[in-house]
Amino acid sequence: MLQFSYGDEQITFERLPRSEGIQRVLIKVHPDCRIEVAAPTQADDNEVLAAVKKRGRWIYQQLRDFRQQSAYVTPRQYISGESHYYLGKQYLLKVLEDPNATQQVKLLRGKLEVTLRQKSAEKVQQLLSDWYKARAKEVFAKRLDAMLEQALWVAERPSLSILTMQTQWGSCSPQGRLTLNPHLVKAPRECIDYVILHELCHLAEHNHSERFYRLLSQVMPSWERVKARLDARAGYYVLA
């Protein structure tokens, strides 16, 4: 772990290796305020620190924004009246108790309606979690097909799985398997498309190299704006 001071903040980050020949230092601030810095293996710690300090103002702002999000995101109680997200829109939660009903979740008339036999916050949470995962599987498959039309470097449709992650929206395995976070289905479609395209670019460029970002910019010129939009709401989608 390396650290430096910016204003009244002591900023600590984890250094990760990058492939040889890549000079760019990549800085990532996660919603939980962890900071990861991928740097060339040949660079010494002082060089990496100097590069990160140049982005000190941006890092400080990211940390402040994520902390503000966390302060406003109250823990879910899974009761009627709460707001929950789906495809970037807010829906009011309505919990209905019916001893004879089928336990289910329905999206209708601006509400997420959860019906269960006996009211229980844990059961409401479980039903919603299962509903989000089912919707995510369906939505992600459709958006993957749409994005593959732009990803001309992909020869065949990669396999897709759903996995709840706290610090990643998606990942791409060395074997070309895409994994997406079901929480992502709470974000707008363009954010979903960005994450899918990001992972598809890894099928061509396995590291965050200059060529990787060049490819991503070709297929989604607005990716930085979309990423910023997603990052700004991450606390609401993941923590809530």
- State how far the alpha carbon of 110 is from the alpha carbons of 18, 55, 90, 124, in Å: 46, 42, 8, 18
pLDDT in tens, the chain (240 residues): 888 888 878 889 988 887 655 677 888 888 778 888 988 888 889 999 999 999 998 898 888 887 776 655 567 788 888 889 999 999 999 999 999 989 999 998 889 999 999 989 999 999 999 999 999 999 999 999 999 999 999 989 999 999 988 778 998 887 889 999 999 999 999 999 999 999 999 999 888 888 889 999 999 999 999 998 888 788 778 765
Neighbours of 122 (CB within 10 A): 8
CATH number among 3.40.1280.10, 3.30.420.40, 3.20.20.370, 3.30.2010.10, domain 83-239:
3.30.2010.10
Residue ranges of domains in the chain:
2-72, 83-239
pLDDT value, residue 70: 63
> What is the phi/psi pair of residue 91, to 5°?
-130, 140
